[in-house]
């Protein structure tokens, strides 16, 4: 699926997405999941192409053998597989979706959500010129978005903050380095403090807590960890080491709703605010992000924004829309609350495979993969 606008981060530029979708059929309902891995293994170790065989050879057979009733029991069923959290999340989240439809309740309610409306920000990729970036900031603010996040990297940072702050001194502004700085850049990172950013996201290595804790001591600006946080224990370690003051929760990165709720709960106990990250999802993953963002501790605007910022035509109906207050209304209907446009999905699919449960008891259970 071509993106409406190319998205450039410190690790590369994305112009088209190649997305893996999971469809779980059970007792008359169909749950959908999206693998949020990128086309390249640059954000983390997984990619669309690594998730496929892990699902086919490990996760789907385990799920179809298991006698499970809930999304919450998926982590146990998948526990013999190390890592591969984005592949796991794609399947687990589809089971949660199916479960919520069987219970005839909204997915967000099944997750324990309370918010009826979620706060939205935008993540802006790097642009060829500062002028082009300024135009994008202007458009997003006019649309009502509550927070602007600028992608940055060495040589591509304070100049942008300076230009944006000079024109909009009061907005909620943050930046995301995607692990592109080193500890020797400490003095330079201290100069970010002058711009009163809400946070600096993942300045150092993707797998680090310790050096972030050293850096956080030197900064007034709060560090937010993204890549480093894979599960509840990581969140706890980062909080205890004071590696960050804010955490970004991504469903794929932590392995699905079960672990996302555990991260949410431990941050609540420790008084650390969270927000929902994005991975340039189609409407399927986006609708999961909306449900997750309804949990109480998602108190900061997330990276979950309107479908039209990414796609000329999304694969769900209705498309995700944002109010002029920069919020998304949480749907009140059972399941994810957005219908999958099956025709559109079929048209975009280049590869698909379907798996059936072998045993009698579960003969109406099937899983399909599409990419
Ligand atoms: O670090 O948050 C990130 C996109 C791909 C990979 C990593 C990140 C992002 C984003 C985009 O920032 C958020 C979105 O608009 O979906
Ligand atoms: Mg990030």
pLDDT in tens, 323-366: 999 999 999 999 999 999 999 999 999 999 999 987 656 667 89
Tell me what the mean pLDDT of segment 229-240 comes to: 98
Whole-number pLDDT of residue 361: 60
Which residues on adjacent β-strands are paired with residue 122?
Answer: 148
CA of 188 to the centre of ligand 2 (A): 20
Tell me what the mean pLDDT of segment 118-124 comes to: 98
Q: Which two tokens stand for residue 33?
A: 């999941």
Confidence grade of residue 69 (pLDDT, cut at 50, 70, 90): confident
Please indicate whether residue 227, judged by its CB atom, sits closer than 6 Å to ligand 1.
no
Tell me what the mean pLDDT of segment 20-26 comes to: 97
The mean predicted confidence, pLDDT, of the chain is 97
CA of 213 to the centre of ligand 1 (A): 23
CA gap 329, 157 in Å, rounded: 33
Whole-number pLDDT of residue 358: 77
pTM (two decimals): 0.97
Tell me what the mean pLDDT of segment 4-23 comes to: 97
Which residues on adjacent β-strands are paired with residue 274?
Answer: 247
Please indicate whether residue 337, judged by its CB atom, sits closer than 6 Å to ligand 1.
no
CA distances from 130 to 124, 137, 146, 159, 199 (A): 12, 10, 21, 8, 21
Question: Tokens 């924004």, residue?
Answer: 305
Domains and CATH numbers, the chain: 2-104+338-370 (3.30.390.10), 110-329 (3.20.20.120)
Whole-number pLDDT of residue 248: 98
Whole-number pLDDT of residue 207: 98
- For 142, counting Cβ atoms within 10 Å of its Cβ (0-12 exposed, 13-18 middle, 19+ buried), the class is exposed
Catalytic residues: 151, 250
pLDDT score of 177 more than 80: yes
Please give the distance of CA 105 from its chain centroid, rounded to a whole number: 23
Please indicate whether residue 278, judged by its CB atom, sits closer than 6 Å to ligand 1.
yes
User: Which is the closest atom of ligand 1 to the Cα of 309?
Assistant: 15
The alpha carbon dihedral of 339, 343, 349, 352 has a sign of positive
Q: What crossing angle do the helices spanning 158-167 and 130-143 adopt, rounded to 10°?
A: 50
User: 3-class SS at 353?
Assistant: strand
**Pairing, β 20-26 against β 366-370:** antiparallel
Q: Which two tokens stand for residue 322?
A: 């944002």
> Between these two residues, 68 and 11, which has the higher pLDDT value?
11
Tell me what the mean pLDDT of segment 71-99 comes to: 98
User: Which is the closest atom of ligand 1 to the Cα of 278?
Assistant: 16
Q: Whose CA is nearest to atom 5 of ligand 1?
A: 279
Whole-number pLDDT of residue 363: 65
CA gap 342, 352 in Å, rounded: 13
CA gap 41, 89 in Å, rounded: 17
Tell me what the mean pLDDT of segment 138-155 comes to: 98
Tell me what the mean pLDDT of segment 297-322 comes to: 98
Q: Whose CA is nearest to atom 14 of ligand 1?
A: 278
CA of 308 to the centre of ligand 2 (A): 21
CA distances from 340 to 29, 179, 264 (A): 13, 35, 28
The alpha carbon dihedral of 331, 254, 325, 135 has a sign of negative
Whole-number pLDDT of residue 362: 63
User: Which is the closest atom of ligand 1 to the Cα of 310?
Assistant: 15
Confidence grade of residue 190 (pLDDT, cut at 50, 70, 90): very high
279, 293, 314: which to mutate for ligand 1, most atoms within 8 A of CB?
A: 279
CA gap 80, 143 in Å, rounded: 46
CA of 26 to the centre of ligand 1 (A): 32
> Between these two residues, 359 and 85, which has the higher pLDDT value?
85
CA of 200 to the centre of ligand 1 (A): 14
Please indicate whether residue 277, judged by its CB atom, sits closer than 6 Å to ligand 1.
yes
Which ranges of the chain does DSSP label H, i.e. alpha helix? 48-54, 60-65, 74-77, 85-102, 107-111, 130-143, 158-167, 186-190, 210-218, 232-240, 251-254, 257-270, 283-293, 342-348
pLDDT score of 77 more than 90: yes
Confidence grade of residue 112 (pLDDT, cut at 50, 70, 90): very high
């Amino acid at each position: 699926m071509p993106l409406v606008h190319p998205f450039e981060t410190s690790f590369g530029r994305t112009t088209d997405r190649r997305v893996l979708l999971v469809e779980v059929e059970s007792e008359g309902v169909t749950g959908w999941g999206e693998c949020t891995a990128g086309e390249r293994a640059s954000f983390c170790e997984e990619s669309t192409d690594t998730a496929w065989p892990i699902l086919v050879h490990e996760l789907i057979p385990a799920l179809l053998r298991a006698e499970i009733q809930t999304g919450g029991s998926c982590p146990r069923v998948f526990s013999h597989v190390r890592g591969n959290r984005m592949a796991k999340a794609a399947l687990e989240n589809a089971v949660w979706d199916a479960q919520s439809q069987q219970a005839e309740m909204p997915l967000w309610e099944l997750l324990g959500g309370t918010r009826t409306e979620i706060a939205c920000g935008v993540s802006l990729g790097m642009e060829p010129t500062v002028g082009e970036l300024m135009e994008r900031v202007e458009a997003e603010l006019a649309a009502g978005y509550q927070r602007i996040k600028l992608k940055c990297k060495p040589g591509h940072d304070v100049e942008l903050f300076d230009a944006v702050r000079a024109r909009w001194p009061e907005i909620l502004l943050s930046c995301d380095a995607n692990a592109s700085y080193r500890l020797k850049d400490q003095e330079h990172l201290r100069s970010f403090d002058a711009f009163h950013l809400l946070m600096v996201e993942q300045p150092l290595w993707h797998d680090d807590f310790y050096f972030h804790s050293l850096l956080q001591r030197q900064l007034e600006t709060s560090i937010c960890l993204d890549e480093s946080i894979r599960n509840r224990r990581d969140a706890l370690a980062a909080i205890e080491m004071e590696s960050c003051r804010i955490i970004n929760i991504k469903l794929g990165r932590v392995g699905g709703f079960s672990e996302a709720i555990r991260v949410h709960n431990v941050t609540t106990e420790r008084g650390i605010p969270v927000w929902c990250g994005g991975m340039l999802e189609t409407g399927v993953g986006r609708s999961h992000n909306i449900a997750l963002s309804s949990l109480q501790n998602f108190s900061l605007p997330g990276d979950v924004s309107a479908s039209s910022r990414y796609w000329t035509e999304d694969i769900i109906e209705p498309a995700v829309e944002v109010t002029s207050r920069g919020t998304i209304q949480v749907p009140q209907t059972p399941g994810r609350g957005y219908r999958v446009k099956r025709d559109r999905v079929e048209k975009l699919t280049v590869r698909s495979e379907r798996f059936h449960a072998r045993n009698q008891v579960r003969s109406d259970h099937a899983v399909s993969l599409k990419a």
